Amino acid sequence: MTATSVGPAPSAAPEPGRFAAEWRAGVMVWRREMIHFLRNRTGMAVSLLQPLLFLYILGIGLSRMFSGPGSSSDYMVFLFPGVLVMAAQAPAISVGASIVWDRESGFLREMLVAPVRRSTLLVGKCLGGATVAACQGGVVLASAGLTGIPYRLGMFAELLAELVLASLAMTVMGAVVAVRTRRVRTFHTVLTVLTAPLVFLSGLMFPVSAMPAWMAAVTVVNPLTYAVDAMRRSVLSHYDAPAGSRLFDPVRWGGHAVPPLLSVALVAAFCAVVVAAASRAFSRTE
């Protein structure tokens, strides 16, 4: 077998189809993220713990304070989409960190000198991160019943799709910072500073309708607002919200509720624009 596979005259491998080659490289990058994820069980468990604690301790505690008309599980239902996003947040952002880490550890060079486009590498990386993030969010999603959300297949499919999109949005935000960053520590500092306001000003923990006008204005330009809102609409289609509660007010543009499909489209557009920007920056570095 050695005799046939190691010929005396080397010839560069024949040029395969351009698209097929890019596809295979992209899948490889994606798979590598999966392998890293699956080999890091501890990290997986720890990053799941935080959103679950958040939902079932903070959520239950706070639900007493928000007890307006309706049942006390209203706040839990309100909080649920936000907690899905929070569960996806850590793994989504760790993709950015892994880009920086690949640069530091050297593996990035192995990918950069390969005959593939850098955008392929970046997209593979982001989709890998989004998949991992959605899996983590999916575990929280499976516990929906505990909050009083009924198990309905259609709603879960919708929520899962929206979760993937939200994960992707957070992943590309991490990536666009990562391609310009040389040190893992710098990356974490920048991301912490960026994500805190994004999370708090998304209507994730308290409704936009309860915010002062200046704060509500910021939420309008936050992509996470739309991701959370779309998920909340999906939940509400199967949950009877009390009539007078401000908790479940939709996001509004000048008094008009933003339709859920538009919210989804906005998040998708955000992902596309940021990935393009990150690819451009990535192609210029090194």
Least distance between another protein and beta carbon 8 (Å)? 6
Residue closer to another protein, measured from CB, 21 or 62: 21
Binding segment for another protein (CB under 8 A), chosen from 22-30, 138-146, 217-225, 234-242, is: 22-30
Least distance between another protein and beta carbon 98 (Å)? 10
Interface of this chain with another protein, residues 33 to 52, rule: CB under 8 A? 35-36, 39
Site string for another protein, 204-233 (x = CB under 8 A): ------------------------------
Question: Is 4 an interacting residue with respect to another protein (CB under 8 A)?
Answer: yes
Question: Is 32 an interacting residue with respect to another protein (CB under 8 A)?
Answer: yes
Helical segments of the chain, H only:
2-5, 18-39, 41-53, 59-65, 74-105, 107-112, 118-142, 153-178, 184-200, 213-220, 223-236, 260-284
Least distance between another protein and beta carbon 5 (Å)? 4
**Among 6, 193, 213, 221, interactor with another protein by CB under 8 A:** 6
Least distance between another protein and beta carbon 46 (Å)? 17
Query: In angstroms, what is the C-alpha Rg of the chain?
Result: 21
Least distance between another protein and beta carbon 118 (Å)? 11
Please write down the long-range contacts of 198-204, taking CB distance under 8 Å and 24 or more positions apart: 198/173, 198/222, 198/224, 199/85, 199/86, 199/89, 199/224, 201/225, 202/82, 202/85, 202/227, 202/228, 203/82, 203/228, 203/229, 203/251, 204/79, 204/81, 204/82, 204/85, 204/86, 204/228
CB–CB of 235/158 below 8 Å? no
Helix (H) / strand (E) element for 256: namely: strand 256-257
Question: Is 281 an interacting residue with respect to another protein (CB under 8 A)?
Answer: no
Binding-site ranges for another protein (CB under 8 A):
1-2, 4-6, 8-13, 15-16, 20-21, 24-25, 27-28, 32, 35-36, 39, 105-116, 286
